[in-house]
């Protein structure tokens, strides 16, 4: 019996007695207890009520290989695909794998992260089996120069996948966020983010870890932990629409793989115009917050290197991604 088999029984959000769980899995109640202890150690929330049994706080849909395959997940294109219940961070898992896999392509999902992070060391809130958290390990043969504009290309792939899923009211914020429109038709709420990390020789063959966090269902208690406006796909759809996590994951990763293949051969330049068409802040007055200063101007998109273009009182200026933050001027 594995923790995943136990979680599958509890995935309906209803109470199940230890006796019933043991009968379903063909194990003793003591074995069930040991697995429950392991889930607790992994910070997976399982409620226990005397006389009722065990349950998850809410019904969940786990990521499963058969379900992913049914929706066209490109398993055969990756050297490995891990579906973990809980990890500190999917990016950390792939960085560790990179130490022994210098030229392989791998992907890792986690149902929750205990130490998920975004850019600039920010926490990435990762409730169990409610959103998507995954990282891809991808080799590049020409060092850091070959990955300029990569986070923009990844954002574009995710945005294209969302459109295939019928979610059209999204846009991209330079350099690595996916935003959704609010009730007034303005891009305000964060739907997802991208974290790029590099390992290996920055001047030659290197491996890049591409982390993606996408909100599927953001609840009020999550917003209390998030430092900015956020929304999930579920909140963008009609209330009666079913959200299939496995389908979302399969579609997004298929788009991401194809985009990374193209980017590896041609770089960002062929994607620049398409990214500009999805630019959430096109024509908006913005603030670019640098480590020791702030620049204001009108956002006019990106150039073929993926650099941000701002129309300022001093003329057009361009900026590389780094320790910067882009905000609307209001």
pLDDT for the residue 202? 73
Q: How many domains does the chain have?
A: 3
Q: Token match 């330079």: residue?
A: 174
Tell me, yes or no, whether 22 and 78 share the same domain.
no
Note the Cα 59 to chain centre separation in Å.
21
Range of the domain at 201: 65-276
How many other CB atoms sit within 10 Å of the CB of residue 245? Answer: 23
Tell me, yes or no, whether 259 and 196 share the same domain.
yes
Tell me, yes or no, whether 176 and 292 share the same domain.
no
What is the domain-level CATH number for residue 18?
Answer: 1.10.10.10
pLDDT for the residue 58? 87
Residue 226 half-sphere exposure toward CB, CA atoms < 13 A: 23
- Extract the tokens encoding 177: 């966020």
How many other CB atoms sit within 10 Å of the CB of residue 96? Answer: 14
Contact between residue 291 and residue 144 where contact means Cβ atoms under 8 Å apart: no
Per-residue DSSP letters for 199-214?
A: EE-TTSSEEEEEEEEE
Last residue of a domain, one of 11, 32, 55: 55
For residue 268, give every residue at least 6 positions away whose Cβ sits within 8 Å of its Cβ, in sequence order, or none: 148, 149, 150, 152, 153, 304, 305, 306
Q: Token match 């780094």: residue?
A: 322
Q: Token match 């109640």: residue?
A: 29
The answer to whether residue 169 is domain-embedded is yes
- Extract the tokens encoding 265: 């051969």
| Each residue's pLDDT expressed in tens, for the chain with a length of 330 residues | 688 888 889 988 899 988 888 888 888 888 888 888 888 887 788 888 888 899 998 888 999 999 999 999 999 999 999 999 999 999 999 999 998 877 899 999 999 998 776 555 566 677 888 999 999 999 998 778 789 999 999 999 999 999 999 998 999 999 999 999 877 778 889 999 999 999 877 777 889 999 999 999 987 777 666 667 889 999 888 887 888 999 999 999 999 999 999 999 999 999 999 999 999 999 999 999 988 889 999 999 999 999 999 999 999 999 988 778 899 987
The answer to whether residue 20 is domain-embedded is yes
- Extract the tokens encoding 143: 């060092």
Tell me, yes or no, whether 145 and 179 share the same domain.
yes
What is the domain-level CATH number for residue 168?
Answer: 3.30.930.10
Contact between residue 14 and residue 2 where contact means Cβ atoms under 8 Å apart: no
Q: Are strands 206-214 and 132-140 parallel, antiparallel or unpaired?
A: antiparallel
Tell me, yes or no, whether 130 and 156 share the same domain.
yes
Q: Is 23 exposed, middle or buried (0-12, 13-18, 19+ CB in 10 A)?
A: exposed
The answer to whether residue 71 is domain-embedded is yes
Tell me, yes or no, whether 69 and 49 share the same domain.
no
pLDDT for the residue 225? 64
Q: Token match 């030229």: residue?
A: 103
Tell me, yes or no, whether 152 and 8 share the same domain.
no
Tell me, yes or no, whether 258 and 113 share the same domain.
yes
The answer to whether residue 10 is domain-embedded is yes
Q: How far apart are CA 284 and CA 258, in angstroms?
A: 31
The answer to whether residue 211 is domain-embedded is yes
Tell me, yes or no, whether 12 and 142 share the same domain.
no
Tell me, yes or no, whether 212 and 250 share the same domain.
yes
Q: What are the angstrom distances between the C-alpha of 208 and each of 46, 107, 153?
A: 35, 12, 14
What is the domain-level CATH number for residue 313?
Answer: 2.30.30.100
Last residue of a domain, one of 276, 292, 316: 276
The answer to whether residue 60 is domain-embedded is no
Q: Are strands 206-214 and 187-200 parallel, antiparallel or unpaired?
A: antiparallel
Reading phi first (left if > 0) and then psi (alpha if -120 to 50, else beta), residue 52 is in alpha
pLDDT for the residue 78? 97
Tell me, yes or no, whether 28 and 167 share the same domain.
no
The answer to whether residue 87 is domain-embedded is yes
The answer to whether residue 30 is domain-embedded is yes
Catalytic residues: 119, 190, 327
pLDDT for the residue 1? 62
Tell me, yes or no, whether 185 and 286 share the same domain.
no
Q: How far apart are CA 125 and CA 221, in angstroms?
A: 11
Q: Are strands 132-140 and 106-113 parallel, antiparallel or unpaired?
A: antiparallel
């Amino acid at each position: 019996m594995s923790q995943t088999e136990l979680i599958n029984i509890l995935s309906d959000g209803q109470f199940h007695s230890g006796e019933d769980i043991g009968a379903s899995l063909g194990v003793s109640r003591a074995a069930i207890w040991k697995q429950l202890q392991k889930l607790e150690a992994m910070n997976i929330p399982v409620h226990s009520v005397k006389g009722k049994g065990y349950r998850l706080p809410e019904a969940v849909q786990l990521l499963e290989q058969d379900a992913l395959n049914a929706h066209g997940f490109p398993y055969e294109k990756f050297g490995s695909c891990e579906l973990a219940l809980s990890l500190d961070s999917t990016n950390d898992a792939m960085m560790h794998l990179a130490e022994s896999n210098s030229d392989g392509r791998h992907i890792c999902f986690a149902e929750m992260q205990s130490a998920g992070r975004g850019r600039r060391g920010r926490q990435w809130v990762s409730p169990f089996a409610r959103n998507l958290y995954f990282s891809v390990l991808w080799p590049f043969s020409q060092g850091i120069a070959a990955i300029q504009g990569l986070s923009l290309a990844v954002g574009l792939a995710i945005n294209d996948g969302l459109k295939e899923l019928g979610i059209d009211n999204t846009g991209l914020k330079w350099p690595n966020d996916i935003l959704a429109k609010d009730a007034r038709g303005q891009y305000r709420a964060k739907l997802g983010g991208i974290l790029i990390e590099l390992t290996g020789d920055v001047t030659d063959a290197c491996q890049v870890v591409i982390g993606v966090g996408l909100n599927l269902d953001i609840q009020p208690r999550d917003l209390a932990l998030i430092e900015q406006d956020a929304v999930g796909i579920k909140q963008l759809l009609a209330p009666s629409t079913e959200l299939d996590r496995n389908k979302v994951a399969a579609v997004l990763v298929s788009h991401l793989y194809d985009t990374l293949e193209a980017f590896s051969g041609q770089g960002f330049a062929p994607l620049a115009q398409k990214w500009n068409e999805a630019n959430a802040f096109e024509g908006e007055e913005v603030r670019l917050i640098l480590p020791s200063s702030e620049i204001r101007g009108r956002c006019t998109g990106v150039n073929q290197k993926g650099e941000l273009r701002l129309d300022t009182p001093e003329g057009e200026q361009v900026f590389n991604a780094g320790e910067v933050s882009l905000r609307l001027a209001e």
